[in-house]
Structure 1
Amino acid sequence: MDQYLEFISNHYLLVLALAAVTFLLIQDFVEHSFNKFTGISPMIAVTKMNSDETKIVDVREPHEFIKGHIEDAINIPLGKFDDQLDTLQPFKNNPIIVVCQSGTRSVPACKTLVKSGFEQVFNITGGMQSWEDNKLPTKSTSKNKN
């Protein structure tokens, strides 16, 4: 036991880093355990899009959306998501796939959808970066288009 205490006192930064990493891993595990939405890969998203009446919601900003997005995606920026949630009500019983650039901004949108009673909510893991890495098609929109 004395050796442990000596190690901790001599290497307190390593012990502190280990404690921080352990805490973050446990937090991530607990958060993913209680999520009521599912993370899916881009390839599974394509399968869902082909087999169901799936709606894609892109939560990136309009200038990001214009550069390239998934065909038929609805652009609702995360900052305006709560205000524009009513536009998704007709699709409440349909599967909804949420995407952003890297997969982090879409998580709060998924949580909002689940709290609003949407039952089939999916998040593309890795976002549009992963979509493009898998060489899946994107559509560009003209800036002049309304």
Structure 2
Amino acid sequence: MDLGRRITRNAEHRYIGSGLMIRALFSALLFLTSGLAAQAANDITQIQQGLESPVIVDVRSEGEYASGAIDGALNHPLQGLPGTLLDMGVELDEEVIVYCRSGRRSAQAKTLLKQAGFQLVFDGGPMTQLEQVLEQSEP
């Protein structure tokens, strides 16, 4: 064995391994987000079919809420959940619809509320989408 021998590397091989890793990570990300998207689509379908009397919760910041919100929505920023809803007296078996600007925080809010024991939590996704759904489902 020649310890003094210099090992040369082919630059292409270094990137092939990196490319495979990036593809694997991208595939995993797509898989996870497609599952979340499917859950959100299911929630929207249930909202369209009509809920009894849901509590609509805007999980954006106070500043975002002040710039415009869905009529009747309560502002409970994501950082305060689930405590702020519990403090307000929302029961664990009440229907709760959460929404935000893009849908990311509403998905997180749904997870937090479900973990806290809320049973009927629906991800309304982005505010613009939920507004349309609510308008279409009005009698």
Structure 2 length as normaliser, TM-score?
A: 0.67
Aligned residues: 120
- Equivalent residue runs for 1:26-41 within 5 Å: 26-28=31-33, 32=36, 38-39=39-40, 40-41=43-44
Pairing 1:73–2:77 present = no
CA distance in 1, matches of 2:33, 2:57: 24
Q: Which amino acid aligns with 1:68?
A: G
Structure 2: where are the runs of 5+ without partners? 1-11
Q: Which amino acid aligns with 1:128?
A: M
Asked if structure 1 preserves the Cα contact closer than 8 Å seen for 2:47 and 2:133, the reply is no
CA distance in 2, matches of 1:104, 1:111: 11
Summarize the Cα distance change of 1:59–1:53 in structure 2 as closer, same or farther, 3 Å threshold: same
CA distance in 2, matches of 1:109, 1:135: 19
Pairing 1:9–2:13 present = yes
Structure 1: where are the runs of 5+ without partners? 1-7, 33-37, 138-146
Summarize the Cα distance change of 1:119–1:131 in structure 2 as closer, same or farther, 3 Å threshold: closer
CA distance in 1, matches of 2:100, 2:66: 13
Secondary structure, counterpart of 1:87 in structure 2: helix
| Percentage identity across paired residues of the two chains | 27
CA distance in 2, matches of 1:68, 1:85: 20
Q: Deviations over 1:74-118 (max 9, x none)?
A: 111112224413235433222110011111111222112111211
Structure 1 length as normaliser, TM-score?
A: 0.64
- Equivalent residue runs for 1:106-121 within 5 Å: 106-121=106-121
CA distance in 1, matches of 2:73, 2:87: 13
Asked if structure 2 preserves the Cα contact closer than 8 Å seen for 1:59 and 1:105, the reply is yes
What CA RMSD, in Å, does the superposition of the two structures yield over aligned residues?
3.0
